């Protein structure tokens, strides 16, 4: 850089007044996990309150716009064509059906509508229809999110142009454990899709699944990878595996619920300004366990009777929980 240019940068206050960002190590995150439970929750709650209203929960409604028949082999997934899961395969839904579902979600009080497709990556003519869905859902005044698999060059820009707010693509687990769950596409390809979405100016929604037989170190390493991205994801879904009969993980033993809460707390501490979403597996949790997750810093959820192919806590139960805990929806 030329001396004159350097001097002008040196006088740019933003560059030099911002505190240096902490990059996490796996050992540091393991040390968080190892804290006595009350200390971990206290630290997570303090961090949470520095950045968020601790009583406000963001609510997204999910819709599967294209179900089943996926070419990929993700070992947890009901939608892979490689496993025998009794799932009815469906074509891409018509745009008007999707918009009607978004209108209903908005009327119930969801602020974001997330559309999921069981694709390795979207084909151009399918993407055209998804772009129309994004335009129309956005026009309802909702935030929009899609999860369509891996993106090819230019697709993230098309989505951004149509009014997309968030692209969801999960790391799912750390690089080391990944190969035991998924072989048809790589962890690096996932990072590449996240980079493309980020470069197109989209917000990222990226997290993972726990309870797949991974170690605590694998969980910590996944959080480190998310937290140390050039810009951490704005939204971090933490899914508890929903074991689906017929998938390789259909018989996975349940995870200790306290380990799930510890993972939420570690996500909150390592990504203090991200929305941490209590995602799949919530239907199987008691109200008390969900309250512990909120105390540990979860501040987002899927709101609606269905996730993609499995059930979710129903509206009435969630509305009652909000009432009992004095939570407000954002
Ligand atoms: N095909 C796209 C993809 O893989 O990115 C989008 C849909 S895929 C179903 C979205 C995410 O849902 C997965 O990355 C995974 O984290 C989560 N998921 C899928 N099946 C699950 C299950 N049985 N339990 C928990 N999470 C699950
Ligand atoms: C995410 O992290 N979890 C959601 C959403 N992103 C697309 C999906 C959960 C799927 C749970 C299993 C199913 O319903 O098929
Ligand atoms: Fe396909 Fe996505 Fe399921 Fe993997 S997680 S099998 S890519 S739908």
What CATH number has the domain bearing residue 254? 3.20.20.70
The pLDDT tens digits for 190-219 are 999 999 999 999 999 999 999 999 999 999
Q: Where do the DSSP E strands lie in the chain?
A: 56-66, 112-117, 143-147, 166-168, 203-205, 208-210, 235-240, 275-278, 300-302, 328-329
| Secondary structure (3-state) at 276 | strand
* Separation between Cα atoms, residue 151 and residue 256, nearest integer Å: 35
In a domain, 11, yes or no: no
Least confident of 10-14, 58-62, 199-203: 10-14
In a domain, 116, yes or no: yes
Which positions ≥6 away from 46 have C-beta within 8 Å? Answer: none
In a domain, 12, yes or no: no
* Separation between Cα atoms, residue 322 and residue 186, nearest integer Å: 39
The confidence band for 14, taking pLDDT boundaries of 50, 70 and 90, is: low
Distance from CA of residue 93 to its chain's centroid?
Answer: 23
pLDDT of residue 13: 46
pLDDT at 4 over 50: no
The confidence band for 290, taking pLDDT boundaries of 50, 70 and 90, is: very high
Provide the residue range defining the domain that includes 194: 33-329
Q: Is the dihedral of CA 201, 145, 231, 295 positive or negative?
A: positive
In a domain, 10, yes or no: no
What is the H or E stretch that residue 95 is in?
helix 95-108
Report yes or no: 199 and 156 within 8 Å, Cβ to Cβ: yes
pLDDT of residue 11: 43
In a domain, 9, yes or no: no
Please name which ligand lies nearest the alpha carbon of 71: 3
Alpha carbon of 74 to ligand 1 centroid (Å):
8
What is the share, in percent, of the chain residues with pLDDT greater than 90? 93
Alpha carbon of 71 to ligand 2 centroid (Å):
17
Please name which ligand lies nearest the alpha carbon of 114: 2
The confidence band for 6, taking pLDDT boundaries of 50, 70 and 90, is: very low
In a domain, 245, yes or no: yes
In a domain, 142, yes or no: yes
pLDDT of residue 17: 63
The total number of structural domains in the chain stands at 1
């Amino acid at each position: 850089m030329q001396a004159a240019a350097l001097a002008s940068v040196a006088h740019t206050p933003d560059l030099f007044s911002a505190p240096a960002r902490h990059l996490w190590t796996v050992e540091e995150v393991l040390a968080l996990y190892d804290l006595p439970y009350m200390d971990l929750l206290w630290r997570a709650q303090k961090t949470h309150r520095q950045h968020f209203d601790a009583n406000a929960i963001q609510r997204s409604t999910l819709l599967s716009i294209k179900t089943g028949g996926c070419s990929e082999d993700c070992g947890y997934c009901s939608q892979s064509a490689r496993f025998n899961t009794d799932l009815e395969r469906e074509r891409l839904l018509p745009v008007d059906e999707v918009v009607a579902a978004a209108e209903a979600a908005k009327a119930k009080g969801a602020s974001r509508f997330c559309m999921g497709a069981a694709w390795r990556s979207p084909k151009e003519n399918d993407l055209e229809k998804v772009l129309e869905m994004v335009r129309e859902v956005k026009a309802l005044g909702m935030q929009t999110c899609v999860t369509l698999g891996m993106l090819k060059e230019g697709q993230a820009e098309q989505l951004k142009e149509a009014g997309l707010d968030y692209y969801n693509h999960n790391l799912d687990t750390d690089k080391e454990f990944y190969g035991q769950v998924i072989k048809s596409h790589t962890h690096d390809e996932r990072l590449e899709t996240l980079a493309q979405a980020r470069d197109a100016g989209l917000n990222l929604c990226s997290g993972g699944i726990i309870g797949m037989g991974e170690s605590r170190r694998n969980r910590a390493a996944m959080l480190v990878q998310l937290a140390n991205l050039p810009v951490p994801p704005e939204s971090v879904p933490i899914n508890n595996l929903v074991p689906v009969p017929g998938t390789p993980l259909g018989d996975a033993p349940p995870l200790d619920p306290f380990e799930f809460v510890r993972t939420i707390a570690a996500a909150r501490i390592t990504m203090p300004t991200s929305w941490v979403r209590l995602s799949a597996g919530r239907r199987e949790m008691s109200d008390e366990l969900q309250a512990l997750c909120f105390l540990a810093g979860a501040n987002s959820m899927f709101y609606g009777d269905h996730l993609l192919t499995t059930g979710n806590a129903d509206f009435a139960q969630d509305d009652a929980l909000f009432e009992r805990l004095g939570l407000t929806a954002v």
